[in-house]
Structure 1
Amino acid sequence: MKFRTSVPIIEQGPKIDHTSKILLVGSCFVENIGKKLDYYQFQNLRNPFGILYHPGAIYNFTKKVASNYKYEEKDVFFHNEQWHCFDAHSCLNSSTKDALLFKLNEGLKETRYFIENTTHVIFTFGTSWYYKDVKSNLPVANCHKMDQKNFKKELLSIKEIVNYINSVCQDLLTINSGLKVLFTVSPVRHLKDGFIENQRSKANLITGIHQFLESEKIKDSGTYFYFPAYEIMFDELRDYRFYAEDMIHPNSQAIAYIWSLFTDAWIAKSASGLFNSIEKIHKALAHKPFNKNSEKHQIFLKDLDKKIKNISKKIPLNNFKRSSL
């Protein structure tokens, strides 16, 4: 007897392995998946401008990457003793104007260079709601805690979302025509917008993505895909025990489960076959010895070094942290 429904997961390809290069852009769920990719030693770049919640902000980012845009003084502003940019998350805020401009321009350069060799791009859309700067009439990625009277809140229509997706994909393909693009909708609820408003927002995102995907199926491009992270969270994991304390974000157990299904769909067996060895190395690196100078611990370290050398022959990236040993 079944006590829950399961979201069908279809194997997709080309698969992600340790030679793949993955760009991740979007909401905080991108950070969750990105941390898993980091842990299992995949080559990835995520959110160079910090978390971007809505398709308009992502479009603005990719447009500037594709056009080799250079940020200047007119693009930043001083508020609450820090320099900000409406195109980026507050994690890029800086105490000096030059420092912020450097971060922004280096972020664009790094992203463009990475895209030139990228195999997969993962976009996670968080919300259809966005804020438009009243002065410029342009959408912002982040309001940076400025007075709300400076902004107008609007809901992206399905047509606008489709148009943004089209533009984003064209920007990417002008840099690298061979990459594959994977869309997801974040399972994080944006309840500050309101319960009904959050549902309207997610519905527009899902419909917009699938209208775009259906149009691409007609072309048979084989470039664009969808992974049902949102559907897994709200169908299979429809219980508050799978939420963090804020009752909004998925907890570690939910993230691990969604990652396991993502692995089934997208990760090559040659790569997932190394997960157990990588996990053992991480656990060994987290080990706290009673006596660092003991003979037993020195044997342990030699064995650990051997394991790291062996795994390094199979993967191009090696970001194992040894500093604590």
Structure 2
Amino acid sequence: MQFRTKIQVEKSAFPIDYDSKILLLGSCFAENMGMKFDFFKFQATTNPFGIIFNAVSLEKLIRRIVENNKFTEKDIFFHNDLWHCFEVHSEWSNPDKEIFLSNLNSILELTNQQISSLKHCIITLGTSWIYRNIESNEIVANCHKVPQKQFVKELLSINQIEESLQNIVSLLQSVNPDCKFIFTVSPVRHIKDGFTENTLSKAHLIAAIHSVFNQNFSTSLELTTNQNQKNNKLSRITHHSSSITYFPAYEIMLDELRDYRFYTEDMLHPNQTAIDYIWEQFLINHISESVYEIMDEISAIQKGLQHRPFNPNTESHQKFLNNLKLKMTTLEKKLPFISF
């Protein structure tokens, strides 16, 4: 007897391994996934400019990164004793204007250098609701507690989101044609927008992502079919022809877990059990089995580093530390980019 529905996740034809350089962008759920990649010591960068919830703001930021378009004084403003930028998260806000601009442009330069060697870009969209600055008529990534009367709240249409996602793919693939994309929708519930409004918002995101996926697949299918005709061959084409895949984090949360015991106390965010389960489904389908053994070794080391003994000066604990150090040194030699 089955007591729940199981979400079918398509296994990736381009699995992630320890040679993969990964960029995670988007909502706070991207941060959750990024922490998992960090724990297992993958070559992953998460939200270099902080959490970004909507597709239009992500597109604007990626365009700036690809074009290496530096931030200037016209891109920033002073409010509540800090310098801010409407394109980035408030975690980067700073009381010193020069330091703020320097930090933003340093991150920009570093990310610009990284994108040419990316193997995977994972984008997690949070909402279709956006705020448009009335004075500039620009959609902002973050309001930075500027009075709400300076903004108009809007719902992005499916077409608007789709266009931004297509542009994101085109921009990154213009400098890195081999980059693969994994799109997902955050399972975090944005109830401040309203229950019905949150559902509508997520529906727009899902519809737009699948439209982009289907268009990308159709193009891949057409190119492969043309090539097969030239070679007088007929082969079975699958979704693996596409450079875009969809990971159903939102659906797993709503349909497989489907219970408030999998939420934090605010009843909006997935709790650690839910995050661990969603990560497990991601691992099974998007991470190469060839690295599972290394992941287990890294996990054992990480747990060892977190261990707090009652008696740290005992001979047995010193032996434990020496053994742990040996494991770390061995792994660091095998994978030089790893550092504990």
TM interval, short-chain normalised: over 0.9
Distance in 2 (CA, whole Å) between partners of 1:149 and 1:62 is: 28
Is 1:153 the equivalent of 2:153?
Answer: yes
Structure 1: tracts of 5 or more residues without a match = 321-325
- Contact 1:263 1:272 survives alignment (8 Å): no
In the alignment, what sits opposite 2:70? 70
Is 1:281 the equivalent of 2:281?
Answer: no
What whole-Å deviation, never above 9, does each CA across 1:20-56 have from its counterpart, x for those lacking one? 1100000000000000000011011110110000001
In the alignment, what sits opposite 2:122? 122
Distance in 1 (CA, whole Å) between partners of 2:334 and 2:254 is: 37
In the alignment, what sits opposite 1:190? 190
Task: Describe the SS at the equivalent of 1:173.
Answer: helix
The 10-residue stretch of structure 1 (233-242 or 311-320) with the greater mean CA deviation from structure 2: 311-320
- Contact 2:213 2:244 survives alignment (8 Å): yes
In the alignment, what sits opposite 2:91? 91
Distance in 2 (CA, whole Å) between partners of 1:29 and 1:169 is: 20
Residue correspondences, number: 320
In the alignment, what sits opposite 1:318? 338
Q: Which amino acid aligns with 1:256?
A: D
Is 1:47 the equivalent of 2:47?
Answer: yes
Task: Describe the SS at the equivalent of 1:13.
Answer: coil
- Contact 1:29 1:187 survives alignment (8 Å): yes
The Cα of 1:313 is off from its aligned counterpart by 3.7
The Cα of 1:290 is off from its aligned counterpart by 3.7
In the alignment, what sits opposite 2:170? 170
Q: Which amino acid aligns with 2:91?
A: C
Q: Which of 239, 243, 247 is the matching residue for 2:267?
A: 247
Task: Describe the SS at the equivalent of 1:274.
Answer: helix
What whole-Å deviation, never above 9, does each CA across 1:284-306 have from its counterpart, x for those lacking one? 11122344443323222211111
The 10-residue stretch of structure 1 (252-261 or 280-289) with the greater mean CA deviation from structure 2: 280-289
Is 1:300 the equivalent of 2:320?
Answer: yes
Q: Which of 264, 269, 275 is the matching residue for 2:284?
A: 264
Percent of residue pairs bearing the same amino acid type: 47
Q: Which amino acid aligns with 1:274?
A: I
Distance in 1 (CA, whole Å) between partners of 2:208 and 2:242 is: 18
- Contact 2:86 2:143 survives alignment (8 Å): yes
Is 1:219 the equivalent of 2:219?
Answer: yes
In the alignment, what sits opposite 2:250? 230
Distance in 2 (CA, whole Å) between partners of 1:292 and 1:254 is: 34
Root mean square deviation of aligned Cα:
1.1
Distance in 2 (CA, whole Å) between partners of 1:253 and 1:218 is: 37
TM-score normalised by length of structure 2: 0.92
What whole-Å deviation, never above 9, does each CA across 1:178-214 have from its counterpart, x for those lacking one? 1101100000011111111101100000000111111
TM-score normalised by length of structure 1: 0.96
Task: Describe the SS at the equivalent of 2:83.
Answer: strand
